[in-house]
Amino acid sequence: MSQRTPLPPADIERLIALGRPIVIHEGYALDLAAWINCHPGGRLAILHMVGRDATDEINIYHSPKALLMMKKHRLGRIAEPWTNLEPPIRSPDFYKNLAARKAAAASANGAPSTPSHPSFVHQADTRPKDAAVSEKNASTPTTCTRRTCSAASVDAEKQPLMQVPNAALDKQTNREQFAAELERQEVAQGLLDNPSVDAETQRAITMDYRALHEQIKAQGLYQCHYTEYLKEVGRYSLLFVTFLGLLYAKWYLTSAVVLGFFWQLIMFTAHDAGHRGITGNFIADTLIGAFIADFCCGLSIGWWKSSHNVHHLLTNMPEHDPDIQNIPLFSTSPTYMKSILSSFYNFQFIWDGAADVIVPYQRYLYYPIMALARFNLYMLSWLHLVSPRAAQLGAAWWTRPVEILFMACYWAIYGYALVWKTLPNWPIRIAFVLVSHLSTGILHVQITLSHWGMPTADLGPVESFPQRQLRTTMDVDCPPWLDFFHGGLQFQAVHHLFPRMPRHNLRRAQVLVREFCDKTEIKYQCYGFAKGNGVVLNRLEEVAKMVKTLVDCQQYMAETGASGLH
């Protein structure tokens, strides 16, 4: 098929239904079947763009050289204006159909069936294109008292894929109906609070965003100022030397605090490298990121990139964004009450009795858990490196052994040479480990601050990339002299629009983004650090009240024998 051959949208939809991972870019259909297993950004980044016009996502994430390489994957030019489809991986039936195909194939080969990660073979969603949007636009107020509970029924397609004992069926169905109604209310509020999601409005926003992108490039905001990194290295060196001095003086716990601050600040540069925002060269930035994250901090830059790429594309989507999937400890969306299946982890987050008990208190658990979050990151890092996902990087295969080597060095230096050999006894060892890790807690607050308080409602496939990023992301206002403390994370909304931009240019870009928001009437959400924390805590409290309402309803039904929500 010639790349110049006009392709009717119906033909592309049929190819997608047959399992072809086709993405629209610059008016062309790209068939990425030959590339998906070699994509350094991971398979999921492509799978979630299947059937969509991903021009903006592709252009802001890739260098000019990478964009030129994409031309060889062109099937042909789109004959008509493209209307976004929901990617098959986001269909409730995707994993069910995938499991059925795997089981059938295994049965045919006489082998037992086993779960697997999603492939690029999809089952098409045969519902009308506007079905999901029309479902979400219907909104009926939900109330619950000791006397009554009311909610609209949930679409059967949205039921979890797990098997449930009959005795628990009514309780689970009621919970899903309640969650579905809350989702509809949040969608309705999102439609009221933001520019219309009709095609014409979103197309205008997209064109303004592309003009902004050209303005960003024309002003040289993609150019990294290495003198700024000399200042960063000075700060890191001062902290590390101070840590060594205090350790030598046997001020063990004070040195642990300084080490924690060192870890916090240096990880900001690892974040820059993970986005190729330092040299722009994949190998150089990957090695910089691996040295800082793996060797200096014991955290896998590969794990971070695999989850962070998906987070940027699917910000605050409960089923798909791994950064907000924290059940049963935290829930930032009523969607989790439906026991969602994560497309990132290929694992079902089951809403159970533990979530009913813990989530109502999540506001009070937020800071204690953030203080200990680093221990969880160690586990996730090693799980990533031993998983097949770490090997599915094509030409970037070498990153896995490099990371394993660097992380082994970290534990040899920190775990053995420092904690075991240098510190004198077990009480000091335990206190040193806890204090050094507690000192990095502010970093985890910074990481969650810009998203956990923001909306999670899905306004449909027509919503443009810039509108979704600005709708689900919050910036933190601070004076310029404090930028080093936040490390660029205070400009998350700007960063989500232009992720490859060096962080030292984000403040200049913020001015242009504010002008863009004024023109498009998209709300630019920017709060001080204290108020931003309040926004997150209020959202945690809001969801906690939803859960408490549901639990009270279920208690009432158990006491009275009521049949369920009606």
Reduce the DSSP state of residue 24 to 3 states and report it.
strand
Q: What is the pLDDT of residue 2?
A: 56
The answer to whether the beta carbons of residues 333 and 510 sit under 8 Å apart is no
- Of 297, 238, 235, 246, give the one whose Cα is nearest residue 271: 297
Using omega within 30 degrees of 0 as the cis cutoff, is the peptide bond preceding 328 cis? yes
Angstrom distance (rounded) from CA 306 to CA 476: 25
Low-confidence ranges of the chain (pLDDT < 50): 111-168, 566
Question: Cα(48)–Cα(314) distance, rounded to whole angstroms?
Answer: 8
Closest CA to 531 of 452, 476, 457: 476
Say what angle helices 252-274 and 426-438 make with each other, to 10 degrees.
40
121 vs 337, 366, 393, CA distance in Å? 29, 39, 19
Cβ–Cβ < 8 Å for 293, 313: no
The correct CATH number of 9-98 out of 3.40.50.300, 3.10.120.10, 3.90.1150.10, 3.30.450.20 is 3.10.120.10
Q: What is the pLDDT of residue 564?
A: 53
What's the count of helices (H) and strands (E) in the chain, helices before strands?
23, 9
542 Cβ contact partners less than 8 Å away, ≥ 6 residues apart: none
Residue identified by tokens 């700060």 is: 235
CA–CA separation, 74 and 63 (whole Å): 18
Q: Name the phi and psi angles at 475, rounded to 5.
A: -95, 160
Phi, psi at residue 31, to the nearest 5°? -95, 110
User: Which pLDDT score is estimated for 360?
Assistant: 96
Does pTM surpass 0.75?
yes
Q: Is 118 exposed, middle or buried (0-12, 13-18, 19+ CB in 10 A)?
A: middle
Q: How far apart are CA 395 and CA 403, in angstroms?
A: 15
3-class secondary structure per residue, 398-465: CHHHHHHHHHHHHHHHHHHHHHHHHCCCHHHHHHHHHHHHHCCHHHHHHHHHCCCCCCCCCCCCCCCH
Residue 411's identity, in one-letter code, is: W
**What are phi and psi for residue 23, nearest 5 degrees?**
-125, 145
Beta bridge partners of 23: 30
Domain coordinates of the chain in residue numbers? 9-98, 189-526
The token pair at 190 is: 């999102």
Question: Which pair of tokens denotes residue 286?
Answer: 């990957």
Q: Are 459 and 191 in contact (CB under 8 A)?
A: yes
List the structure tokens of 299. 């955290």
Of 52, 35, 39, 135, the residue nearest 90 (C-alpha): 52
Comparing CA positions, the residue from 38, 57, 37, 35 lying closest to residue 48 is 57
Distance CA 294, CA 273 (A): 13
Determine the pLDDT at residue 7. 87
User: What pLDDT score does 160 carry?
Assistant: 39
The Cα diameter of the chain in Å comes to 74
